Amino acid sequence: MSKPRIEEWTQLRGMAFLAIVMQHNIAEYIYRADIAQPDSIMLTMIYHLTRFGTPTFVFLAGVLLFYHHSHKKPDYPHFIRKRFGDIYVPFVLWTLIYWLAVRIFTPEFWQSGTFDVRSLIRELFLPQTGYHLWFVLMVFQFYVLFPLFLRAAQFVQRKLGKMTKLTGTQSVIALVLIAAALYTMLMKWSYYDTAGWTVALSPPWSTLLEYRSYSWVMYWFYFLLGAVCAWGIEHWRHWMVRALPWLICLFIGMYIWLGYDVLKGSGDIVNLNISTYLKPTTFIIIMAQMLMLYGFLVLLRSKNTRFQQLFTWIGRYSFGGYLVHALIIYCIAYVTRPLLLTGWHLPVTLLSFLVTVSISLAISWGLSKLPGSRFTVGLQRRKRSNSPIRSTDESLPRQKAGYSTSLSTKQQALAEPDVH
């Protein structure tokens, strides 16, 4: 019997997907030479409302893995085969699609008459044409190493259980705070201390530093937080609601800080990479916003409004939408780049965002209904039963508001890269 599905996780994944699509639409328009300053500032303000997107997918990856494997040792060969089919195969397929799509519209591709296999192989390790796909490689590292993470988490859990000076809740809070401090130090090292290392060092160390955002090491805290949430969901909900007023205040303060920081450090053209994910202040606003949104979803989980149903639907098809959305942005940009949009960058960005979301999710939904959908959008088609007897999953009662019957968990939480 499967565990009950936690609705707020799917809804949070839907929000994260929308944030990521907005980020990449903003990146398409904010760097154009004809952008007016008011549009540039407004897009920067919207951009800082979306910073939670990618790390939230890492958090949700940890949540799902620890939730479904917390009390059992995974069969590693079966576990990897399943994740390979659900995640890596779609990555390879869409890498090929993006590689072909960019070259088909390049005259040099047809004039050369050769098939550049080396560039395609490079895309499988360092995606460029599908600029967002590198994050699949990063998240897949968590799946490959998950049995080790699980054993380490179980070891820590046993040690915490033997502590007598602190209660279980106090021990977990202390552990999270210590981990957050260590991760903040890692972000400081990444953003400030390694600035000149890439130039000073020789390969392969300079290459490893240059592409350090491709490594799970730079995102491990969000994965750890997912384990804490998964292993104590009711306690987690309770604390998210209690901390909500403080999280709101922290988010507002950091939102103002990051906006000022970017505008102060930019010239005529805004530099959004000033608020990269691998920066201590960005880490703080991400945590504040992600946990704040989680708290709101907990408060609303008994309502089951159309608004929540929409985010649940978006969350279900978000992986396929994530894979395809950059291709839609490419198509829109093919039309908008030759245009002079002075004074119109903000409305065009918002319109492009709506079109991208709608078409991406429609394609993801459509592909999920076709054979082989597991290998295209990471979703397996639901099987219709001809028997009047309800299946085990369908007959599971709702235990509490916010829970629903168990559905397929083939779709894994994924994330997207920073704006480059």
Residue type, 113: G
Judged against a pLDDT cut of 90, whether residue 406 lies above it is answered with no
Q: What average pLDDT score do residues 326-330 get?
A: 95
Q: What is the pLDDT of residue 114?
A: 58
pLDDT of residue 108: 62
Could you tell me if residue 228 is inside a domain? yes
In a domain, 419, yes or no: no
DSSP string, 55-98: HHHHHHHHHHHHHHHTTS---HHHHHHHHIIIIIHHHHHHHHHH
Alpha helices in 73-196 (DSSP H): 76-83, 89-104, 107-112, 117-125, 134-161, 168-188
Instruction: Quote the pLDDT of residue 397.
Output: 35
- pLDDT at residue number 405: 31
Task: Give kind and range of the element (H or E) at residue 403.
Answer: strand 403-404
* DSSP-based three-state secondary structure for 405: coil
- List residues bridging with 6 in a β-sheet: 403
Does residue 389 lie in a domain region? no
Q: Which domain holds residue 162?
A: 5-382+397-404
- Compute the distance between CA of residue 336 and CA of residue 35 in angstroms, rounded to an integer: 13
Q: What percent of the chain has pLDDT over 70?
A: 85
| Amino acid code (one letter) for 48 | H
Q: Backbone phi, then psi, for 403, in 5-degree steps?
A: -105, 150
Give which of 260, 255, 315, 242 is closest to 288, Cα–Cα.
255
Residue with tokens 């491990």, as numbered in its chain: 220
Query: Would residue 412 count as lying in a domain?
Result: no
Neighbours of 311 (CB within 10 A): 22
Instruction: At 7, list the tokens.
Output: 């609705």
d(CA 237, CA 248): 16
Task: For 78-231, list the strands marked E by DSSP.
Answer: none
Closest CA to 46 of 29, 24, 22, 28: 22
| DSSP assignments along 338-381, one per residue | TS--TT-HHHHHHHHHHHHHHHHHHHHHHHHTSTTHHHHHS-PP
Domains of the chain: total: 1
272 DSSP assignment: G
Res 310: pLDDT: 95
Q: Is residue 413 situated within a structural domain?
A: no
pLDDT band at 413 (very low <50, low <70, confident <90, very high): very low
pTM for this prediction: 0.87
**Residue position matching structure tokens 């995102």:** 219
Alpha carbon distance 149, 153 (integer Å):
6
Residue 418 placed within a domain: no
Query: Is residue 103 scored above 90 in pLDDT?
Result: no
Q: What confidence tens digit (pLDDT) does each residue in 340-373 have?
A: 999 999 999 999 999 999 999 999 999 999 998 9
Query: What radius of gyration do the chain's Cα atoms show?
Result: 22
Assigned token pair, 181: 């401090």
| Average pLDDT of the residues of the chain | 85
pLDDT in tens, 134-156: 999 999 999 999 989 998 888 88
3-state secondary structure of 404: strand
Answer yes or no: is pLDDT of 2 > 70. no
* pLDDT (mean) for 168-176: 85
Tell me if residue 412 falls in helix, strand or coil.
Answer: coil
Give a yes or no: residue 275 inside a domain: yes
Residue range 366-384: mean pLDDT, rounded: 84
